[in-house]
Amino acid sequence: MESLYELSSRAIRRVYDARIKTPPVLDAEAYFPNARRFRSSWRAIRQEALTVMERLGSLPCFHEIMPAQADISANDGRDWRMYLLKVYGQKVHDHLQACPTLAGLLDASPEVLSATLSFLAPHKHIPRHSGPFRGILRFQLNLFAPADGEGRPGAVLWLAGQEYRLADGECLLWDDTYPHEVWNRSDQTRIALLLDVRRPAMPLDLRLLSRTITAGVGMVARWRGLG
């Protein structure tokens, strides 16, 4: 039987899918111009992420933050750990203080709702899934992308039938409501910055619905002590 979360997610998806027709990968310059700020600072961001990684074992896995995501986080005994900096508008102040470059970039980018440093363990597989609604877009900036046995970036994003391999400092703006999955086919941890960004230029009613949804999620995050 479907949970209430799954039923509500499907209903929300139908509302957006009927009216928003964009491809899986979007032009960052058009949809998230501040992407260039993050990409130009990727080396400084990576240094902050490497400092965080020194205490990787103490960071929570994704399913420890969101138990509903256990199917994609706790599926194979390998870790997918998160360092949350902002959760749907709620700032995680001590984490931001530890990452001053990221904190400054986020302050200058109010369209970013959530920000996370993602640490994907060697040979971790995130099974195929899709996000709940198109009111947000996912920006991914790879900070450390170790190579596979053939010298290519070992972390693979499969998105709507296409494979994407981002090297160090490369980024992608994409719609996570399309089916996607991830593999880390390397022997080292892949580090990425993941941002959830408000989709621009939506009809007024969808903008209002999006703000209601994200504000609700932000309140839950604060109640759970994430912000």
Low-confidence ranges of the chain (pLDDT < 50): 1-4, 7, 221
List the structure tokens of 165.
Answer: 């391999």
For residue 178, what are the β-bridge partners? none
pLDDT computed for residue 1 by the predictor: 37
pLDDT computed for residue 185 by the predictor: 96
List the structure tokens of 45.
Answer: 């961001």
List of residues 6+ apart from 128 with CB closer than 8 A: 158, 179, 180, 181
List the structure tokens of 99.
Answer: 């990452």
Domain spans of the chain? 23-223
Q: How far apart are the first and last CA of the chain?
A: 32
With CA atoms as reference, report the closest residue to 191 among 109, 81, 87, 59.
81
Architecture of 23-223 per CATH?
Answer: Sandwich (2.60)
Query: Rounded CA gap, 172 and 83, in Å?
Result: 20
DSSP class of 121? P
pLDDT computed for residue 3 by the predictor: 45
pLDDT computed for residue 201 by the predictor: 80
pLDDT computed for residue 11 by the predictor: 66
